[in-house]
Amino acid sequence: MNYTNYFTNRPTDEITRDLIGRPLIYNEGKEKLGGYIVEAEAYMGKDDRAAHSYGGHRSPANEGLYRRGGTIYIYAQRQYFFFDVACQEENEPQGILIRAIEPVWGIDTMIKNRNGKSGVLLTNGPAKMMQAFGIHDKNWNLHFLSDSPFIIDLEDKHRKPAQEIIADKRVGINQSDPIWTNKKLRYYVAGNPYVSDMKKRNYAKNNGWT
């Protein structure tokens, strides 16, 4: 798969929207784990006050954002880990946080990895998704996607079509900057129960797929 072209050939927010419905798979050779991406957030680089690279900040911790599009950027907050993919050309530090998947492959193993949590709680948040994959470190940080156990299937025939993709505010962004706080850079399948904080009353028929 041509990850470099996919993650550099248009604006990061457009790439983020296009990822919705695509399979994300983690396979270290034992078992295929994963599902369809139902929620993702765009981070627009040096001007984006919510981005780790805001103002051109660069450190060993966020180096992944500065690599070429298609490079994995894994970061940690407390004991939790988050999976991002760098976008755009090298030294243009934009990226996408994959926030949630609807699980399809290796569900029993993912439930074990989540200490028995199942249903929507299995993968309805970025840290939960990484726990479901059994990832508790940054070993795959700075690796290019094609050189890692992660696969994002870019074939359109394998993409699951959503009835509606919503653009909304990102989650947990500092309220002190109203412009970037309110930018609609989070994309998700309308009514899908695995979207973080999706209310039961808003669940859609067929989980929001066509």
Pair 174, 49: CB distance under 8 Å: yes
- Of the pLDDT bands very low, low, confident and very high (cuts 50, 70, 90), residue 155 is very high
List Cβ neighbours of 86 (8 Å cut-off, separation of 6 or more): 7, 64, 65, 66, 67, 68, 69, 70, 71, 72, 73, 93, 94, 95
Among the four given CATH numbers 3.90.1150.10, 2.60.120.10, 3.90.1280.20, 3.10.300.10, the one describing domain 3-200: 3.10.300.10
> Could you give the percent of the chain with pLDDT greater than 90?
94
- Of the pLDDT bands very low, low, confident and very high (cuts 50, 70, 90), residue 172 is confident
Whether 177 has a pLDDT exceeding 90, the answer reads no
Across 6-17, average pLDDT: 98
Whether 178 has a pLDDT exceeding 90, the answer reads no
Whether 176 has a pLDDT exceeding 90, the answer reads no
Report the chain's C-alpha Rg in angstroms. Answer: 16
Pair 187, 64: CB distance under 8 Å: no
Across 88-113, average pLDDT: 98
Whether 95 has a pLDDT exceeding 80, the answer reads yes
Across 98-120, average pLDDT: 98
Q: For 33-48, write each residue's pLDDT tens digit.
A: 999 999 999 999 999 9
Decide: helix, strand or coil at residue 177.
coil
Whether 136 has a pLDDT exceeding 90, the answer reads yes
Pair 33, 26: CB distance under 8 Å: yes
Question: What was the pLDDT predicted at 131?
Answer: 98
Domains of the chain: which residue ranges? Answer: 3-200
- Of the pLDDT bands very low, low, confident and very high (cuts 50, 70, 90), residue 49 is very high
Whether 174 has a pLDDT exceeding 90, the answer reads no
Instruction: Count CA within 13 A, CB hemisphere, residue 167.
Output: 11
Task: Give the C-alpha separation, 18 to 20, whole Å.
Answer: 5
DSSP, residue by residue, 29-87? SS--EEEEEEEEEEE--TT-TTSTTGGG---GGGGGGGSPTTBEEEEEETTEEEEEEEE
Pair 49, 34: CB distance under 8 Å: no
Question: What was the pLDDT predicted at 10?
Answer: 98
Question: What was the pLDDT predicted at 175?
Answer: 76
Residue 118: both structure tokens together:
């199942």
